[in-house]
Homo-oligomer: A and B are copies of this chain.
C-alpha cells in the first residue's frame, strides 16, 4: 500500500474500531441522542451539538465559512425574489419542475442558515414556504404528465417528489422548534404524512423495490419519520411496505423489472445493489445519484438511531462505496461513463460533496478524503462538513491515491466486475459486470482508455440531455435504446451484427462475465482477463488486457487479446472508438460517395461509413492525435479482414447523437479467432510550440506466436529490434500452477497465469 493514509487503510481502521468499540464521535453522538432524540431539534443531519460547535468556530474554518457565505448569498437572493409554489405542470426542464426543485434545495439551505446564523428571517422563510406547500399539496391531483410508471404530485415522477421530501425534511427539522405545536400539527397532518404515504403506500410499484428510485422513496419516508418521531414511517422506510403484492413481471419506464424478488426497504436497497466491494451495479453515474439518499438517511439514522449501526451494515458497505466512487473517476474527477451515464458528471457534484463529508465524518476521518474536499472547495453546512473544514484547517489533508483496482459486482460479489488498470497518466477501464439493472448496456468485456483525464478510446455514455427540456423533456431519448445501449456503441466484439444477449434485458439480467485473472501486483505488467460465455450462445469470449511499461517506450501501452471460440462460423466486428484527429494509416482506404450506412439494426443503422479498406498487411496500424498526444493502434489482421472508419449520426433526425468516429475491424466467415492489438500512447504535439515529438509508433511487429485452447502467445517487436513475448494460460489462472510451452523451438517455463519477458532472456 503506497499511501498509508489512503482510504482503503482507513476502511480497515474503521472496521477495527467497529470491532474494538466505538470511536469518540460516535460515543458523543449517542450520548446526545439519548438525551435529546425525541425533543431537541435539529437532530436529523445538523445536530444541536453540531450547531453549538459550528457557532463557536465560525470565522475560523475557511472552507466552511466560504461555503456559508456563498449559500447565504444564494438563499438571500431567493428570499428577495419571494416564494413561488406553482401548480405542477411540466416535465423536467420546464418551469414548474425547475421551480419546485429549486425550492427544496433552497429550503434545506435556509433551514441550515437559521440554525447556524441564528437569524429568524430564514426560519420565517422556511415556515412560509412550508405553509404554502401545505395549502397547495392538499389540493393536488396526480401530476398531469403521464409518462412515468409512478407519477408524483409536485413532479411528474414520484422520484422527484421523494427528492423534495428528503431535502424538506431537513428544513423542517431545522425550524421544528421555531414552530408552534399547532403549526407542526398542521404541516404533519396535511403535508408530510400524506406526502410520505403517497410516495409509498399509494405507489408501491415505485416504493417497494430494489432500485435507486425506491432508495429515494425510502429515505424520504424515513427522514420525515425521524423528524416527526413517527415509528411507523421509520419502519416502512427500513423494511418496505408490508404485505404488498406486486406483479413480479411488470417493468418501469426504463424497462427494468419493478420487483422480481419481492425485496423492499432501505436495508434491502443497501443489501442488493452494492457488492461487498461497494460497487453499485448500475455504475458510478447512478451510484453517485443514489449515494445522496443512502448517505443522508444513514447519517440521520446514525444521529437518531445509532443503535442501528447503519454505517456498519453489510460490512460497512456505504462507506466503502464512497471510496469506490472516487476510484471510478478519471484524473479530472469525472466518473467513467459505464452504462447509462452523462459524461462530465464528477466528484464536484453536490452528491459527492455529501458523500465525501459524511464518509470523512463517519469513517474515522480518512485524510485522503480531505484532498478531494479541498478540490470541491465546499462542504456541507452540518456536523460532517464542519469535521472536514476543521481537518483541512488543521492541515490533515493527504493525497487521495487512486490505484489499480478490481471491483466485484453483485450483492455477493460473484457477478463479474469492473477493473481499472492505472499507470502513470493512463487509466484503462475494463467492464465484465452483470447487466447493471435497467440502466445497463450490452457491452460485455468492453473497455475505455484515458490519459490525464482525457478520453483516448471512449465509451459513448447515455443518449440523453439531462434536464434540457428541448431534448425530449430532458429524459432518455430513443437513441439511448437504438444506439447507446447496443453493443456496437462500445469497444467490444459484435457477432453477426447483433448485440450481446440479442439486446434482451431479461437474458442479459440472468448472466454476467467471469473474472479469469486480475493482477496489478507488478506495476510494469498489470493484467485483467475475463470470460463471457452467454452473450452469444455457442460462442465463448475471453478478453485479456495488459498494461505494460517497457523501458524502450515513453509511456505504458496496452496489449489487448480477444479470443473467440465458437461452434460455428460468424462475422465479428471489433471497433475502437478513438477520440481525436486521424494522422496516419498504413493502409489505403476509399471514402465512398455518396456516404452509406453500415447496417440496418442494433445500432448499425446509426453509423455512416466514412472509409473502407481491406487489411493488406499482417499488422494494421492507425495513428491519431488527441489533446496534444499521439496514439497508435497496431492490430494483427489478415488479408480477408475489412477495415471501416465509421462516423456516428445516421438516422438521427434530431441531432441527438454526437458525431463520433471509430476504426472497426470486420472478420467474416470466422469460427475461432483471436483479435490481438496494442494501443500505444506516444509523444506530444503543442500548437503553441508547434513541436511534434515522438510522433511515430515504436511497435514494428505484432504477431500471434501461438494460439491454442490452453495458451495464447503474442510477440511484440519494437523498432530497436527487441522482441518481447506475452503468454497467457487460457484455462488455469492459478498463481502457483507451473507451465511449460515450446514456441518456435524455444522452451518457456513459468509459474502463474502469464509469462512476459524479452524473447532472448
Interface positions, chain A 462-499, Cβ under 8 Å from B, are 465-471, 474
Could you tell me the distance between the alpha carbons of A465 and B474 in the complex, rounded to whole angstroms?
A: 39
Could you tell me the distance between the alpha carbons of A658 and B595 in the complex, rounded to whole angstroms?
A: 17
Tell me if A623 counts as interface (CB < 8 A to partner B): yes
B692/A583 in contact, CB under 8 A: no
Could you tell me the distance between the alpha carbons of A581 and B344 in the complex, rounded to whole angstroms?
A: 15
Could you tell me the distance between the alpha carbons of A760 and B739 in the complex, rounded to whole angstroms?
A: 91
Q: Which residues of B contact A709 (CB under 8 A)?
A: none
User: At the interface with chain B, which of A182-190, A220-228, A681-689, A727-735?
Assistant: A681-689
Q: Which residues of B contact A583 (CB under 8 A)?
A: 465, 468, 470-471
Interface positions, chain A 194-227, Cβ under 8 Å from B, are none
A581/B345 in contact, CB under 8 A: no
CB distance from A633 to the nearest CB of B (A): 15
CB distance from A137 to the nearest CB of B (A): 24
CB distance from A654 to the nearest CB of B (A): 8
Instruction: Please tell me which one of the listed residues B344, B348, B594, B655 contacts residue A595 in the complex, with CB atoms under 8 A apart.
Output: B594
From A343, A344, A350, A594, residue with most partner B Cβ within 10 Å? A594
Q: Which residues of B contact A597 (CB under 8 A)?
A: 593-594
Could you tell me the distance between the alpha carbons of A691 and B625 in the complex, rounded to whole angstroms?
A: 33
Name the residue on B nearest A584 (C-beta): B470
Instruction: Please tell me which one of the listed residues B469, B686, B687, B688 contacts residue A692 in the complex, with CB atoms under 8 A apart.
Output: B469
Q: Which residues of B contact A647 (CB under 8 A)?
A: 649, 659
Tell me if A650 counts as interface (CB < 8 A to partner B): yes
CB distance from A519 to the nearest CB of B (A): 35
Instruction: Please tell me which one of the listed residues B589, B625, B686 contacts residue A653 in the complex, with CB atoms under 8 A apart.
Output: B589
Tell me if A690 counts as interface (CB < 8 A to partner B): yes
Task: Say whether, besides A582-B655, A659-B647, A659-B659, A691 and B593 are in contact (CB < 8 Å).
Answer: no
Tell me if A651 counts as interface (CB < 8 A to partner B): yes
Residues 436-479 of chain A, each 1 if its beta carbon lies under 8 Å from chain B, else 0: 00000000000000000000000000000111111100100000
Instruction: Please tell me which one of the listed residues B581, B591, B610, B611 contacts residue A658 in the complex, with CB atoms under 8 A apart.
Output: B581
Tell me if A93 counts as interface (CB < 8 A to partner B): yes
Tell me if A296 counts as interface (CB < 8 A to partner B): no
Could you tell me the distance between the alpha carbons of A350 and B688 in the complex, rounded to whole angstroms?
A: 8
Tell me if A363 counts as interface (CB < 8 A to partner B): no
A610/B649 in contact, CB under 8 A: yes
CB distance from A587 to the nearest CB of B (A): 12
Q: Which residues of B contact A309 (CB under 8 A)?
A: none
Could you tell me the distance between the alpha carbons of A649 and B609 in the complex, rounded to whole angstroms?
A: 12
Tell me if A544 counts as interface (CB < 8 A to partner B): no
Could you tell me the distance between the alpha carbons of A583 and B468 in the complex, rounded to whole angstroms?
A: 9
Could you tell me the distance between the alpha carbons of A536 and B451 in the complex, rounded to whole angstroms?
A: 49
CB distance from A472 to the nearest CB of B (A): 11
Q: Which residues of B contact A344 (CB under 8 A)?
A: 686-688
Residues 588-618 of chain A, each 1 if its beta carbon lies under 8 Å from chain B, else 0: 0111011111000000000010110000000
B348/A688 in contact, CB under 8 A: yes
Q: Which residues of B contact A688 (CB under 8 A)?
A: 344-346, 348-349
Tell me if A695 counts as interface (CB < 8 A to partner B): yes
B591/A692 in contact, CB under 8 A: no
B608/A652 in contact, CB under 8 A: no
> How many monomers of this chain does the complex have?
2
Instruction: Please tell me which one of the listed residues B469, B594, B650 contacts residue A695 in the complex, with CB atoms under 8 A apart.
Output: B469
CB distance from A462 to the nearest CB of B (A): 11
Residues 668-688 of chain A, each 1 if its beta carbon lies under 8 Å from chain B, else 0: 000000000000000001111
B651/A593 in contact, CB under 8 A: yes
Tell me if A342 counts as interface (CB < 8 A to partner B): yes
Task: Say whether, besides A595-B595, A649-B610, A687 and B345 are in contact (CB < 8 Å).
Answer: yes
Q: Which residues of B contact A652 (CB under 8 A)?
A: 591
Could you tell me the distance between the alpha carbons of A609 and B317 in the complex, rounded to whole angstroms?
A: 53
CB distance from A717 to the nearest CB of B (A): 21
B689/A350 in contact, CB under 8 A: yes
Q: Which residues of B contact A696 (CB under 8 A)?
A: 470
Could you tell me the distance between the alpha carbons of A611 and B649 in the complex, rounded to whole angstroms?
A: 11
Q: Which residues of B contact A661 (CB under 8 A)?
A: 659
Residues 325-360 of chain A, each 1 if its beta carbon lies under 8 Å from chain B, else 0: 000000000000000001111101110000000000
Instruction: Please tell me which one of the listed residues B346, B466, B611, B687 contacts residue A342 in the complex, with CB atoms under 8 A apart.
Output: B687
Could you tell me the distance between the alpha carbons of A610 and B647 in the complex, rounded to whole angstroms?
A: 12
Could you tell me the distance between the alpha carbons of A589 and B611 in the complex, rounded to whole angstroms?
A: 26
Q: Which residues of B contact A93 (CB under 8 A)?
A: 692, 695
A468/B582 in contact, CB under 8 A: no
A591/B687 in contact, CB under 8 A: no
CB distance from A90 to the nearest CB of B (A): 12
Task: Say whether, besides A594-B597, A652-B591, A685 and B623 are in contact (CB < 8 Å).
Answer: no
Could you tell me the distance between the alpha carbons of A696 and B623 in the complex, rounded to whole angstroms?
A: 41
From A469, A688, A689, residue with most partner B Cβ within 10 Å? A688
Could you tell me the distance between the alpha carbons of A187 and B597 in the complex, rounded to whole angstroms?
A: 65
User: 23 A-B contacts, Cβ less than 8 Å apart?
Assistant: A93-B692, A98-B691, A343-B687, A344-B686, A345-B687, A345-B690, A349-B688, A350-B689, A465-B581, A467-B690, A468-B583, A468-B695, A469-B692, A470-B623, A470-B695, A471-B583, A474-B692, A589-B653, A591-B650, A593-B597, A594-B596, A594-B597, A659-B661
Q: Which 8 A-B pairs have the closest CB atoms?
A: A344-B687, A582-B655, A595-B595, A594-B594, A470-B584, A468-B692, A594-B596, A466-B690
Q: A468-B583, A468-B695 are in contact. List 19 more A-B contacts (CB 8 A).
A: A93-B692, A98-B691, A344-B687, A348-B688, A349-B689, A350-B689, A465-B581, A465-B625, A467-B692, A470-B623, A581-B655, A590-B653, A591-B650, A591-B652, A593-B651, A594-B595, A610-B649, A645-B655, A647-B659
